[in-house]
């Protein structure tokens, strides 16, 4: 056990491990690229959807159920399925990651919108604001903290799951996990797992402090 | 991409046993998750300073990728069902702990005072007043944890377990979509059925809530 951790330490800290095409720095960049792009696409789908449902109050039942249905969708299965259907490309990975992220974004955006005090919305309307003005100038700013939480949750889940890109022969930090499993090289597997975990935890901390900084003037 | 229906017909026994093993892994994880998070939640609810620490800790555990948890457990429990269950249990903790604490918080102080005034001892108040009243929020957590676990079991296919997840590896390695489609459909079905059963269980467990709504 102790030997294992010593080897793991050596693996993580040796300069040669960090350099080159298979190096940690390069794999880390790939991992972040997959995760950020997938989260952006998911946000482009999930945010308008959540805002619209929250604003109109229509389709909430369907959306919430679809979201919990989405939570049940096994990511591994989805990647393999799209891979078998569409062949070798990054598409399966992005489809699976986006499918994973959209429910978290939709449900949190919707939750943020429903948490907006109806009196405030009435007041805005009473002042002569139109529907889209109420949405953009009143509801959206008030719902923003919960929307941000949704985006953060989505990104963390995506970072954790982007490991799967390596399963269908792409890069990212999952490379070490799957190569290590294939080569029965436990140190490499553990190294990859530790790196993914560290990236997820660090991103979560960064985003939550950013969130605290942005909303530092709010009492609730 | 066509479905080979005869493959399904030929493998009903395998599919049944994989589904059963899938369900068993998820249920065991939720069971142990509850076993751990119930007492922790009571502690977090009563001892304020510990609350932030316990909730924060479970949050950090949740950010660790599932595949990483399984892999990190390999030196300890190897390629076994135990690894799968421990990994899934860790994941259920964040939802179960947070919801149980929130459920206990939601019990009105007046109700607890009334119980005290009637001479009910603290442990009895917890078991017969607080926990039942917190049940709807706890059950919401159990539902999320169950659906999540059912979806996550398949990740354990990388460490040689994974219930229905084995169909994904199988289909991937043979470039044969049928098992993958069947695996995805069965996983979702399992989640939907389990969720519906939990809703029914909650209905049975909380008779006092039926007259309202």
| Local confidence band at A177 (pLDDT 50, 70, 90 cut-offs) | confident
| pLDDT given for residue A46 in this prediction | 92
Q: How far apart are CA B190 and CA B44, in angstroms?
A: 33
Q: Hey, are the CB atoms on A69 and B63 less than 8 Å from each other?
A: no
Contact A146, A111 (CB under 8 A): yes
Among candidates B64, B69, B171 on the partner chain, residue whose Cβ is nearest the Cβ of A80: B171
Q: Is A171 helix (H, G, I), strand (E, B) or coil?
A: coil
Average pLDDT, integer, range B183-204: 92
Enumerate the residues of chain A whose CB falls inside 8 A of the CB of residue B172. 80, 83-84, 167
Distance from CA of B213 to the nearest CA of A (A): 17
Closest CA in chain A for residue B170: A80
Among candidates B59, B183, B188 on the partner chain, residue whose Cβ is nearest the Cβ of A69: B188
Q: How far apart are CA A168 and CA A185, in angstroms?
A: 19
Predicted confidence (pLDDT) per residue in B4-15, tens digit: 888 888 888 999
Among candidates A4, A80, A204 on the partner chain, residue whose Cβ is nearest the Cβ of B63: A204
Q: What is the pTM of this model?
A: 0.82
∠ Cα B37 B42 B43 (to 5°): 95
A151 touches chain B (CB under 8 A): no
Enumerate the residues of chain A whose CB falls inside 8 A of the CB of residue B72. 190, 193-194, 197
Q: How far apart are CA B181 and CA B178, in angstroms?
A: 5
Quick count: other Cβ atoms within 10 Å of Cβ B79?
A: 14
| pLDDT given for residue B212 in this prediction | 58
Testing the interface with B: which of A74, A154, A158, A212 to mutate, by most B Cβ within 10 A? A74
In angstroms, the Cα distances linking A104 to A85, A177, B73, B151 are: 26, 26, 28, 15
Q: How far apart are CA B125 and CA B101, in angstroms?
A: 16
Contact B117, B60 (CB under 8 A): no
Which residue has better confidence, A204 or A219?
A204
**pLDDT higher than threshold 60 for residue A220:** no
**pLDDT higher than threshold 90 for residue A31:** yes
| pLDDT given for residue A111 in this prediction | 85
| pLDDT given for residue A1 in this prediction | 67
Contact B154, B96 (CB under 8 A): no
Q: How far apart are CA B89 and CA A122, in angstroms?
A: 45
What are the two backbone dihedrals, phi and then psi, of residue A22, each rounded to the nearest 5 degrees?
A: -95, 5
Q: How far apart are CA A155 and CA B149, in angstroms?
A: 20
Cα torsion angle, B188, B192, B197, B203, sign? positive
The tokens of A112 are what? 């943020």
Closest CA in chain B for residue A153: B63
| Local confidence band at B38 (pLDDT 50, 70, 90 cut-offs) | very high
| Local confidence band at A190 (pLDDT 50, 70, 90 cut-offs) | confident
ipTM of predicted complex: 0.78
Average pLDDT, integer, range B30-57: 91
| pLDDT given for residue B189 in this prediction | 92
Q: Hey, are the CB atoms on B184 and A200 less than 8 Å from each other?
A: no
Q: Angle at which helices B165-174 and A75-86 pack, to 10 degrees?
A: 20
Average pLDDT, integer, range B155-160: 85
What kind and span of H or E run contains B50?
A: helix B48-63
Predicted confidence (pLDDT) per residue in A71-121, tens digit: 788 888 888 888 888 777 888 889 989 988 998 899 889 888 888 888 888
Q: Hey, are the CB atoms on B172 and A201 less than 8 Å from each other?
A: no
Location of structure tokens 């049944």: B16
Scored b (16 or more CB within 10 A) or e, B103-115 reads bbeebeeeebeeb
Distance from CA of B207 to the nearest CA of A (A): 25
Those residues whose C-beta lies under 8 Å from the C-beta of residue A160, and which sit 6 or more positions away, are: A196, A200, B63, B64, B65, B66, B67, B68
The tokens of B106 are what? 């939601």
Average pLDDT, integer, range A33-37: 94
Among candidates A68, A78, A160 on the partner chain, residue whose Cβ is nearest the Cβ of B65: A160
| pLDDT given for residue B31 in this prediction | 96
Q: Hey, are the CB atoms on B177 and A85 less than 8 Å from each other?
A: yes
The tokens of A215 are what? 């909303």
Which residue has better confidence, B62 or A33?
A33
Q: Hey, are the CB atoms on B180 and A81 less than 8 Å from each other?
A: yes
Contact B179, B167 (CB under 8 A): yes
| pLDDT given for residue A30 in this prediction | 93
Q: How far apart are CA A154 and CA A113, in angstroms?
A: 18
Alpha helices by DSSP H, listed for A14-59, are 15-18, 24-56
The tokens of B64 are what? 């660790």
A77 touches chain B (CB under 8 A): yes
Enumerate the residues of chain A whose CB falls inside 8 A of the CB of residue B191. 71-72
A80 touches chain B (CB under 8 A): yes
| Local confidence band at A43 (pLDDT 50, 70, 90 cut-offs) | very high
Contact B122, B174 (CB under 8 A): no
Q: What is the largest CA-CA distance in chain A?
A: 71
Enumerate the residues of chain B whose CB falls inside 8 A of the CB of residue A1. 75
Quick count: other Cβ atoms within 10 Å of Cβ A219?
A: 4
Average pLDDT, integer, range A136-154: 88
């Amino acid at each position: 056990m102790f030997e294992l951790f010593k080897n793991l330490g050596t693996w993580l800290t040796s300069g040669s491990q960090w350099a080159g095409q298979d190096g940690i720095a390069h794999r880390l960049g790939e991992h972040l690229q997959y995760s950020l792009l997938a989260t952006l696409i998911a946000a482009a789908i999930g945010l308008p959807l959540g805002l619209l449902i929250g604003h109109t109050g229509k389709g909430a039942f369907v959306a919430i159920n679809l979201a919990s249905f989405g939570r049940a969708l096994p990511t591994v299965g989805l990647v393999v399925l799209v891979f078998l259907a569409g062949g070798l490309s990054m598409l399966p990975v992005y489809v699976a990651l986006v499918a994973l992220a959209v429910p978290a974004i939709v449900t949190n955006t919707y939750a943020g919108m429903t948490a907006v005090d109806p009196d405030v919305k009435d007041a805005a309307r009473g002042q002569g604001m139109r529907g889209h003005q109420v949405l953009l100038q009143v509801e959206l700013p008030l719902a923003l903290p919960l929307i941000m939480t949704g985006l953060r949750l989505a990104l963390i889940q995506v970072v954790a799951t982007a490991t799967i890109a390596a399963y269908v022969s792409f890069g990212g930090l999952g490379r070490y996990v799957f190569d290590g499993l294939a080569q029965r090289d436990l140190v490499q597997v553990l190294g990859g797992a530790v790196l993914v975990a560290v990236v997820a935890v660090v991103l979560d901390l960064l985003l939550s402090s950013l969130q605290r900084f942005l909303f530092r003037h709010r009492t609730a | 991409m066509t479905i080979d229906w005869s493959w399904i017909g030929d493998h009903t026994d395998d599919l049944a046993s994989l589904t059963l093993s899938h369900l068993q892994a998820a249920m065991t994880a939720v069971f142990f998750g509850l076993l751990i998070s119930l007492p922790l939640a009571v502690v977090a609810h009563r001892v304020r300073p510990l609350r932030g620490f316990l909730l924060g800790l479970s949050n950090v555990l949740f950010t660790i990728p599932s595949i990483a948890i399984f892999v990190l457990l390999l030196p300890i429990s190897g390629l076994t069902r135990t690894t799968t269950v421990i990994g899934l249990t860790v994941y259920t903790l964040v939802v179960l702990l947070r919801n149980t604490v929130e459920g206990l918080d939601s019990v009105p102080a007046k109700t607890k005072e009334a119980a005290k005034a009637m001479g009910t001892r603290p442990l009895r108040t917890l078991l017969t007043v607080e926990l039942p009243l917190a049940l709807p929020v706890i059950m919401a957590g159990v539902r999320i944890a169950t659906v999540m676990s059912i979806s996550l079991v398949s990740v354990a296919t990388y460490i040689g377990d994974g219930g229905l997840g084995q169909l994904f590896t199988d289909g991937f390695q043979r470039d044969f979509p049928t098992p993958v489609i069947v695996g995805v459909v069965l996983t979702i079905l399992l989640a939907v059925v389990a969720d519906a059963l939990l809703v029914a269980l909650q209905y049975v467990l909380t008779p006092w809530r039926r007259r309202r709504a």
